[in-house]
Chains A and B, each alone.
Chain A
Amino acid sequence: MSEHEEHKVESTTAQLFERAVEQHSRRLLAIARGIVGNRASPEDVVQQAIMNLYQHRARYDWNEPGPLLRRAVVNEALRLLRGPKMSMVQDDHPSGSSETPVDEMVAGETVQQVRAAIDKLPEHFRSALILCEYENMSYDQIAKTLNASIPQVKTWLFRGRRQLAEMLKDFVEGKRKSAVR
C-alpha cells in the first residue's frame, strides 16, 4: 500500500471512529452506569474503553461499530469492578420524567428500589440483564459481548431475574395493593 493510500485509509478510519463515538456515546454511558453503578465514573469507563479501541483502531471494521463499542465498554466496566474497591461517585442524572410531583416521587422510589436490587446482583447477571433489556440484544449477541456461551447467558438472565423478583417481591406487592385501592 502506498503512503498516499495508507494516509487515506487512516483518515477514513479516523472519521468513522469519531462518528461511531458520537453516535453511541449516550448508550455506552448508560451501559457503563448500569454495570458499575456508583462504584466508578461511567465517563471514565467509556473513555478508557474508547481509547483502548483507538489504540488498535486499524484492526477493526468501523462500519459496524455498535457491538465493538459495547463489548469494549462492558469489558472495561467488568475489569474495573474486579479491581480494588473504588469510592462512590456522585449520581448526576435526572431520576425520571414524571408529570406530577407525586408520580415523580413514586417513580423515584421504584428506580431506587430497582437500582438497589440490581446493584446486589453478581456483575455478569447485571451485565446480561442490561444488554438484554436495555440494549434489546439477542442471547447470541450478549454471549459474544460477554464472551460466554448462549446457555450461560440464559442461565445468568434467568437467575438474575429470579433474584430481582425475590428482592423486590414486597415492593411489587405493595405497589399492586396501592394500585387496587
Chain B
Amino acid sequence: MTETDLDMLEMYLDDALSDRDLAEAARRIAEEPELATELALMRVQREMRREYFASIEPTEAGVERLLGRVDESLRRRSSWERQIKWGRIGIAAAACIAIGFTTGYVGRGTGRTGGPAVAQNQQVTAPTVVASNTDDHDHIHFVGKVTPQVQLTDDNGRVIAVQPFESMDKANEFVNDIQTWQDRQRQVQNGNVLLMGGKF
C-alpha cells in the first residue's frame, strides 16, 4: 500500500475527489481487495473518532453557562463603550474650554505693563492740575498733537496733572522715569526690596 493509495482512500472518504478520480477510486477498490481492506479499517478508525467527537459536544448547562458569560461580558462592554463615548464628549468640551481660556490668557490686554497710552490726536482743552490723595499714579496718557503732553491720572481715571514737553522723546523719557519710580515704590511697599538709595 503506497502513500498515494492511502491518500486517495482518505480523500475518497472525505468526498474530496473529482468525478473522474472518484470513478477511478471506486473501480480500484472494487478490483483490489487490499484497498478494500484498508478502506474498511479507515472506516473503523473514523467511527472511533466520531464517537470521540460526539463526546466533546457540550452539555446543555455548558452552553447556557457560556451564553450567560457572553451576555454579561457584552453588557459590561456596552456600558464601557457608552462611558467612553460620553467621556470623549466631556474631554472635547473640556479641551475647548481650556483652549479658550489659554487663548484669552495669552492674548489678554497688556494693561499697565504696556506703558502709557498715546493719544496723539487729542488736545487737552483745559489742562488742570488736580490734587490727588493717592500715591498710585498709575494712569499716564500722552495727549496733544503739536505739543506733546503727558497726562497723569489717578486710579479712578481722573486727570491729576498735565505736563507739556518739547518733543515726543522727552515725553517718553518722562513716562519711563515715572514708571520706574512707580515700580520701585511698589517693591518697597511690598517689602521685597531694601532700598539703599536711588536716583529719582
- For residue A33, CB closer than 8 A to chain B, the reply is yes
Instruction: From the candidates A22, A30, A130, name the one contacting B58 in the complex (CB within 8 A).
Output: A30
Contact with A along B76-120 (1 / 0, CB 8 A): 010000000000000000000000000000000000000000000
- For residue A74, CB closer than 8 A to chain B, the reply is no
- For residue B44, CB closer than 8 A to chain A, the reply is yes
- For residue A133, CB closer than 8 A to chain B, the reply is yes
B50 touches A133 (CB 8 A): yes
Measured between beta carbons, the chain A residues less than 8 angstroms from B44 are 172, 175-176
B74 touches A172 (CB 8 A): no
- For residue B170, CB closer than 8 A to chain A, the reply is no
Binds B, one of A1-9, A80-88, A159-167: A159-167
Interface size on A, residues (CB 8 A): 47
User: Chain B interface residue count: which class?
Assistant: 20 to 34
Tell me, in angstroms, the Cα distance from A113 to B45 when the chains sit together: 11
B-contacting residues of A (Cβ < 8 Å)? Answer: 21-22, 25-26, 29-30, 33-34, 42-43, 46-47, 50-51, 54-55, 92-97, 107, 110-111, 113-115, 118, 129-130, 132-134, 138-139, 154, 157-158, 161-162, 164-165, 168, 172, 175-176
Instruction: Across the A-B interface, give the 6 residue pairs with the lowest CB-CB distance, nearest first.
Output: A114-B52, A29-B58, A134-B53, A33-B56, A111-B55, A30-B56
- For residue B69, CB closer than 8 A to chain A, the reply is yes
Distance (whole angstroms) from the CB of A33 to the closest CB of chain B = 4
